[in-house]
Structure 1
């Protein structure tokens, strides 16, 4: 499955994506605002494990952001479980050379539409690290609403930070 944006494509992860994934993900400016499961340094071994893991997903919830045939980022709508089973949490990253071009805002809009149309969810949410104002702007431009701040909810590289919660609801 492919979803086309302006100058990029959202698609499933493929064999052969490992090298461009490693190249574009290995940046401390990216990993600083992501969960620890997104490592830095980002090795070819990590990229290989990631591609193998995502190829098994059903339904498709984790997409590569491809620009000119290269993986330059990723975006996902991770399905939650239990009492949160109608909710998905979105997360995303993009290689630094492509920042400030509107790509991630467009990708968030596309993944939001995809999730509401194809996944059994009524709510999408995103937790944003306190100092990541660029991501907060992306979500706001994509129609997400800031619902609150979870104080001291995150620890990254030994620093305690607040987590800003954004969400969008499926229209009834």
Structure 2
């Protein structure tokens, strides 16, 4: 596993962010709010957005002094107020090295300590086996498989929802 640090996004991360995020293989499994191509303007807007929330919830994944991905905790509202969604991505050249599994393991205690939640969940494309694996490896369980509800790039995909509860940590 590669050593990493979770930290706030900084303005000087812009070049690295655009370099890593401007990748169709990453955008393929993200919502349309994560654009492709990924421009400097997209990066500037994201860095500004990532630093707005208190308590802090969107982190850069830093490896060897460079921001190479991100992880975020997104608390829900209304009747879902005891839940938060986990979102994450990683630059392609860091895939398959155990980085994201370790990142999720590191963020879990923070999520449950910092936010008044009972459940953290991740929504995964049915064809994204790597993302499914990293959640299972960290104790998440498959809660739901909703067929053909994601529509991305002209293709319907299943949505898999994985969750972990405070009392299962």
TM over 0.5: yes
State the TM bucket, normalised to the shorter chain. over 0.9
CA-CA distance at 1:169 after TM superposition: 0.1
CA distance in structure 2 between the aligned counterparts of 1:64 and 1:83, rounded to whole angstroms: 29
- Quick one: which of 117, 125, 144 aligns to 2:140? 144
- Quick one: which of 40, 44, 67 aligns to 1:44? 40
Q: Deviations over 1:13-70 (max 9, x none)?
A: 1121111100011100001001110010011110011111112111111111011111
| TM-score (ref. length: structure 2) | 0.96
| TM-score (ref. length: structure 1) | 0.94
Q: Which residue of 1 aligns with 2:31?
A: 35
Structure with the bigger percentage of helix: 2
Q: Which runs of 4+ in 1 moved over 6 A?
A: none
- Across the aligned residues of Structure 1 and Structure 2, the Cα RMSD in angstroms comes to 1.2
Q: Which residue of 1 aligns with 2:65?
A: 69
Q: Which residue of 2 aligns with 1:19?
A: 15
Alpha carbons 1:6, 1:106 under 8 Å: kept: no
- Quick one: which of 79, 85, 98 aligns to 1:83? 79
Please list every run of 5 or more consecutive structure 1 residues that lacks an aligned counterpart in the other structure: none
CA distance in structure 1 between the aligned counterparts of 2:7 and 2:36, rounded to whole angstroms: 24
Please list every run of 5 or more consecutive structure 2 residues that lacks an aligned counterpart in the other structure: none
CA-CA distance at 1:6 after TM superposition: 5.3
Q: Between 8-17 and 21-30, report the one with greater CA deviation.
A: 8-17
Q: Which residue of 1 aligns with 2:119?
A: 123
CA distance in structure 1 between the aligned counterparts of 2:9 and 2:67, rounded to whole angstroms: 9
Tell me the secondary structure at the aligned position of residue 30 of structure 2. coil
Alpha carbons 1:11, 1:63 under 8 Å: kept: yes
Alpha carbons 2:27, 2:34 under 8 Å: kept: yes
